Structure 1
Amino acid sequence: MTGDGTRSAPSLSQYEQRRWDELQRAWAKTAERRNMIPDSAKDGAAKAGIALSRAVAKSRGVAAAAVPEKVKKVADRVVDDALAPTLEAVVRLLELTNDWVVELADPERVLDYHRQAGRPVESLADLRSVELEYLDEFARGMTLRWRTFGAGEGAILGALAMIPVPVAGSAAAITLDLLVMQALTGAIATRVCYAYGFDPLDPQTKNMIDRMVMRAYPKQAPKTGTTRRASQAFNSTKHRVNWSKKLREDHRMMAAVEKLLKHTGQGGHVPVQNARMGMPVVSVLVGAGANSYLLGDTAKLAQRYAATVFLSEKHGLPLPANLARGLDLDGEDETGPLAGGPSV
């Protein structure tokens, strides 16, 4: 293999060579895209992510242990009829998330897949001798599967943020959403590592999984802000009848929905309550879109990382510069804002 990474070692199969070339192009695009982002934007996103991770860390024990049970009890209270079914959906979502985390953390599921295909594997280490094509085969479809799950999760918890009760309101919904996304990003990255024969307890692999979870926080900051503003507008205008300058200034999102409705056929006047009912829609769409992207992106990037390291170690190929600088998944120097971030 030459230093520029364009020619393969003789031992690579045709499939492995094609995948290696694809992976090199993908990492190069990541580095190029990263270099186009202004440093101020990088720092801002990183700081927002760290702030979110710390907030979740502080509330993790209370929220994880107490909120789901309280949400079940809230189901018996009187809430807006249009949103009441959301509470039951949240309980089911939390139960499903727990089942998925347990499922993804079980390496036997990966090994059983290959055993049923007639491959003699007894441990994760045995997967390192399996052809990459078969390892990719197992991981194929994970991105679409988790994009779909993320869309449903984000929509449900986006709707939960609208419910005007203290326990199940915006703050609790956002905390639950972050906890669910934290658990799932870590579990998805773990399953992908299993799929390529890597032990999550290995320090390098564990570092990659931790960084996968940490990189999720900056990507959630815009979503949490939008959800919070939509919830505040929805709950504070429940009995409001007339528009005012202050109302439009305090709740610019509702004012934007008012303008949109005017342009889509409601004429010159849009009732406050019509604009208010657009807030759950905003929260649901933002949550669904953001979480769908994040879980799908986690699965895709974890697969790219694992396949790259697999081929590098199997054939002695040099890692792309992104990874050679210390598991730099997003083209950011390891000395940047997320370096040494907390293991979550």
Structure 2
Amino acid sequence: MSAYEEQVWKDLNEHWERRNNRRGLPNWASNALGRTGEVAGNAGRRVKDAVPEGVKEPIRRAGGALADAALRPAVAGAVALLDLVNEAALELNDPKTVEKIARKKGLDIDSFTELREQDLKVCDRLLARNTMKWRATGALEGGAMGALAMVPVAGIPAAMTADILVVQVLSTSIASRIAYSYGYDAKDPDEQRFIQRLVHQSFMAQATKAEPLNRTAQAAQALKGRVNWSDKLRTDHKLAAALEKLLQHLSPAGSKVSVKSVAKVVPFVGIVISAGLNSAVLGRVASEAQKYCQTRFLCEKYGLPLPAALTVDQDDAPEDDTP
């Protein structure tokens, strides 16, 4: 191994040891993969038409029906983002894109599979700042969908449907691009098995934000047009009551926080919830996929055994599918 590869191998072993101690990567899927596999699998198989018109059309209709012009940018932004996802998915799933990048960096290769003959450092350079990039993308996508969830006509159903599909398509595509960058064919069954675990994990993570987003949207609707506070309003919408108390601490002593002031803040809570989670999900997909490919690359190149966290048979995984 080169000095670079030795250091990466050391770091990878430490990473997988930590993973193995708190339930290894293969257990992400467990038997729940079969229960939600249709959603995850369809995202990968339909990557050519990543976000179908059936998802985008209801959002477009919502934009046309909105009476509040201030909310229309949220809908327009969401639709534009979905169109960009389609373009990104096509590029990320095309190995020829990786070959072009490699040639621009001075590598004389005819096929991406030849990357497996290079030093690990060469492949890593093809993915410079990759995790940071996808964290930023996740925040952008999540923020747009969080804003969409606050729109009365489109609301939570349209936002969550689009959001789940977008993140799953991007998860599949990110993992595919990373596999190609280390010389592995993302269409190979072994690679697909790992990729679908990543997609399933993103699905489970996204499901956790549906309830807080729903509560946030309900609070936004309840506050709209209100002038005065009431005990019922505070009891029914604890988020609004909590924001009232928070703003009270930030206001001059003795002043009162108006309903209108809280109503302006509530939509940003939905945006923060969605942006933060999606940033973490896509960042983790990018990081874990790269570590997995780096590990396989070094193991196969130097005849090393896979770390224990990567040798657990999926059939032996427990029912619990908590990440």
Task: Quickly name the TM-score band, shorter chain normalised.
Answer: 0.7 to 0.9
The match for 1:65 is 53
Is the Cα contact below 8 Å between 1:151 and 1:288 reproduced in 2? Answer: yes
**Over residues 296-336 of structure 1, what are the superposed CA-to-partner deviations in whole Å (9 max), with x where a residue is unaligned?**
111111000000011111111111111011479xxxx6344
The match for 2:8 is 19
The match for 1:28 is 17
Q: Distance in 1 between matches of 2:3 and 2:290?
A: 19
Aligned residues: 314
Q: Distance in 2 between matches of 1:56 and 1:22?
A: 30
Closer/same/farther in 2, CA of residues 174 and 53 from structure 1, 3 Å limit = farther
Closer/same/farther in 2, CA of residues 51 and 253 from structure 1, 3 Å limit = farther
**TM-score, length-scaled by structure 2:** 0.87
Question: Do structure 1's residue 78 and structure 2's residue 79 form an aligned pair?
Answer: no
SS at match of 1:87: helix
Question: Do structure 1's residue 198 and structure 2's residue 184 form an aligned pair?
Answer: yes
The match for 2:317 is 334
Is the Cα contact below 8 Å between 1:80 and 1:163 reproduced in 2? Answer: no
Closer/same/farther in 2, CA of residues 51 and 326 from structure 1, 3 Å limit = closer
Match of residue 258, structure 1, among 241, 244, 260 = 244
SS at match of 2:65: coil
Question: Do structure 1's residue 210 and structure 2's residue 199 form an aligned pair?
Answer: no
SS at match of 1:282: helix
Question: Do structure 1's residue 293 and structure 2's residue 280 form an aligned pair?
Answer: yes
Match of residue 319, structure 1, among 306, 315, 320 = 306
SS at match of 1:200: coil
Which residue identity is paired with 1:110?
A: V
Q: Distance in 1 between matches of 2:111 and 2:314?
A: 25
Closer/same/farther in 2, CA of residues 47 and 172 from structure 1, 3 Å limit = farther
Question: Do structure 1's residue 107 and structure 2's residue 75 form an aligned pair?
Answer: no
Q: Distance in 2 between matches of 1:182 and 1:75?
A: 24
Q: Distance in 1 between matches of 2:23 and 2:280?
A: 18
The match for 1:145 is 133
- Name stretches of at least 5 consecutive residues in structure 1 with no aligned partner: 1-11, 36-41, 340-344
Structure 1 residue 207, shift from structure 2 partner: 0.4
Structure 1 residue 253, shift from structure 2 partner: 1.1
Fraction of identical pairs, as percent: 39
Q: Distance in 2 between matches of 1:256 and 1:47?
A: 39
Structure 1 residue 204, shift from structure 2 partner: 1.4
Which residue identity is paired with 1:176?
A: A
Query: Superposed, which structure 2 residues align to 1:297-312 within 5 Å?
Result: 297-312=284-299
Structure 1 residue 125, shift from structure 2 partner: 2.4
Q: Distance in 1 between matches of 2:103 and 2:244?
A: 59
Match of residue 179, structure 1, among 146, 149, 165 = 165
The match for 1:9 is none
Match of residue 148, structure 2, among 141, 150, 160 = 160
Once the two structures are overlaid, the 10-residue window that deviates more, 86-95 or 244-253, is 244-253
**TM-score, length-scaled by structure 1:** 0.82
Closer/same/farther in 2, CA of residues 56 and 143 from structure 1, 3 Å limit = closer
Which residue identity is paired with 1:28?
A: E
SS at match of 1:243: coil
Once the two structures are overlaid, the 10-residue window that deviates more, 182-191 or 259-268, is 259-268
Q: Distance in 1 between matches of 2:144 and 2:10?
A: 40
Q: Distance in 2 between matches of 1:265 and 1:49?
A: 49
**Over residues 237-265 of structure 1, what are the superposed CA-to-partner deviations in whole Å (9 max), with x where a residue is unaligned?**
32333323332222111111111111111
Structure 1 residue 57, shift from structure 2 partner: 8.9
SS at match of 1:76: helix
Q: Distance in 1 between matches of 2:75 and 2:159?
A: 11
Cα RMSD of the aligned pairs, angstroms, is 3.1
Closer/same/farther in 2, CA of residues 322 and 257 from structure 1, 3 Å limit = same
Question: Do structure 1's residue 97 and structure 2's residue 80 form an aligned pair?
Answer: no
Q: Distance in 2 between matches of 1:50 and 1:242?
A: 50
Structure 1 residue 140, shift from structure 2 partner: 1.9
Q: Higher helix fraction: Structure 1 or Structure 2?
A: 2
The match for 2:227 is 241
Structure 1 residue 34, shift from structure 2 partner: 4.7
Structure 1 residue 278, shift from structure 2 partner: 1.9
